[in-house]
Structure 1
């Protein structure tokens, strides 16, 4: 239901997004039946397509041409998809969005090569654009995304990490790709540098809010809503903002410390989820997300008024307030 509500906010982009969806299907097409099946399995699992949406909306501030915009929107979504496949291997995840992951449906090897294949397709696709600056921004973003994934592995099971560690990690893991979607969409449509900079910062701030809300929902949503067990981040050893906030209570800290890295029974998992959910941690995490949301909205205030600005504002509010 929430995804449906989100799509209604940018329903006027449906023809262009349908075109991008077809382009994504063509992009992952392969002579290998196995690669083809695994790639389509991931693609057809769905997704919010937030990155392509932001590419298109940013392009509305310049000389909008869908044939040019899709050359940026498609590879950015492919890069995101590739990172999801690799994430599921690293986290040993069996489900994503309520469906088996590629690694669960096939195996780790197929998943890794599928991710590599999708990433290669992204690079092939964006090579159509003749812009060294655009390629520099994208390559730098990809490097930072990889660094973020490595940092996440290094930070696993470290309950005593600080807030800066967490924010640095989600910046690279999520915010930068959304930020680049806004910036590249602006640049490829020929906007001025100042407009592109405001859009880049908007993308960064909304990306931070987006990931914090995601981490909150891991504790506040049901297994059915998440399409995976609630508390999966904790089970996998990923220390997120709700955990960082909850650990300030000595009793909760002991509970988390004693169960971190342990194979939990169902009652133990549910008890941990309920403990974090019922603590002040959720409200504290929401307050931090809200600060990033407000910063994102401030960036929009510097941009020309119009439908694109209005839609970005609506999406930002939705992202910052969504329930799952």
Structure 2
């Protein structure tokens, strides 16, 4: 697993989780050809990694690994449904499921992954866990529906956008951190700080992706009318930007228009303000994880943060080993 190759202990656990997922995918039938490539190309597996670190390396590996596999199946399902809504053409360097197999099969494939997640949870001791794994599903689906309805809307607020990505992205990370921590306890307690820390981490991760999209010449968020936090900040500072955004719409091919919009966004303080929000959420999450993780798990967590976020920490003491 490329991202984790310099962290062999965690890399080994994530490989075990990937093997569980591959074993759950059917060997024959219509879904075999659709789902097998998804589990062969694992991505960074950040949510399972956070779950393993929150649980601790020595905690019930079978239980933790199956819980992490369920979480990653749910994440994959959400990606497929995202690509249907956003007309995604590429995911992890490969054509998306909807592009290869069509909308109907992609819908069924996403539903099948949710079924596989439930199957991975079979046999786990539910009384040791917070209410899992479906507490996040209602808010996540609400957030997805809101994103769909607000496409190309320039009336969004920073607070509203942050609330949406908290549900859309943050809750899966929150589930990872709180579930892992709950498994580590003799009886679940004190998981609220870990829930919040995972949420903060997930929000920071989504905002990182939002900034990356503005640096990508594909401009996929802008093309689909998903106006992210830096765009919303830029509209606050440069109301005239609304004129150019109003000319966008589905299928607009004008590459120069996107370049102009991004240059105007960069000419405001929107990028800096978004980076400040990322930094705030990262520092809050790091403070909790440092106090709740073991020393070995913290070192892996800190390494992951440095790889993903570089110098975003405001309090550099949080990054020291």
Cα distance in 1, alignment partners of residues 258 and 39 from structure 2: 30
> In the alignment, is residue 11 of structure 1 matched against residue 4 of structure 2?
no
Residues 302, 189 of structure 1: CA spacing in aligned structure 2 closer, same or farther, 3 A cutoff? Answer: closer
> In the alignment, is residue 71 of structure 1 matched against residue 66 of structure 2?
yes
CA RMSD of aligned residues (A): 2.3
Whether the 8 Å contact between 1:215 and 1:241 is mirrored in structure 2 is yes
- Equivalent residue of 1:206, what SS? helix
Q: CA-to-partner distance for each residue in 1:186-244, whole Å, 9 max, x for gaps?
A: 11232664553332222111111101111111002x34xxxxx2x21111111211110
- Equivalent residue of 1:103, what SS? helix
Whether the 8 Å contact between 1:95 and 1:101 is mirrored in structure 2 is yes
> In the alignment, is residue 239 of structure 1 matched against residue 227 of structure 2?
yes
Cα distance in 1, alignment partners of residues 53 and 293 from structure 2: 12
Q: Give the aligned length.
A: 311
Cα distance in 2, alignment partners of residues 283 and 85 from structure 1: 31
Residues 200, 308 of structure 1: CA spacing in aligned structure 2 closer, same or farther, 3 A cutoff? Answer: same
Cα distance in 2, alignment partners of residues 237 and 306 from structure 1: 43
Cα distance in 2, alignment partners of residues 316 and 195 from structure 1: 24
> In the alignment, is residue 130 of structure 1 matched against residue 125 of structure 2?
yes
Q: CA-to-partner distance for each residue in 1:139-165, whole Å, 9 max, x for gaps?
A: 111222222211211222211111121
**Alignment match, 1:226:** none
> In the alignment, is residue 199 of structure 1 matched against residue 194 of structure 2?
yes
Cα distance in 2, alignment partners of residues 155 and 321 from structure 1: 32
**Alignment match, 1:274:** 263
2:19 to 19, 22, 29: 22
> So what's the TM-score if we normalise by structure 1?
0.88
1:291 to 269, 280, 295: 280
Gaps of 5+ in 2: 313-321
Whether the 8 Å contact between 1:296 and 1:316 is mirrored in structure 2 is no
- Equivalent residue of 1:128, what SS? coil
**Alignment match, 1:209:** 204
Whose relative contact order is higher, 1 or 2, with alpha carbons under 8 Å and at least 6 apart? Answer: 1
Q: State the shift of 1:300 in Å.
A: 2.4
> In the alignment, is residue 306 of structure 1 matched against residue 303 of structure 2?
no
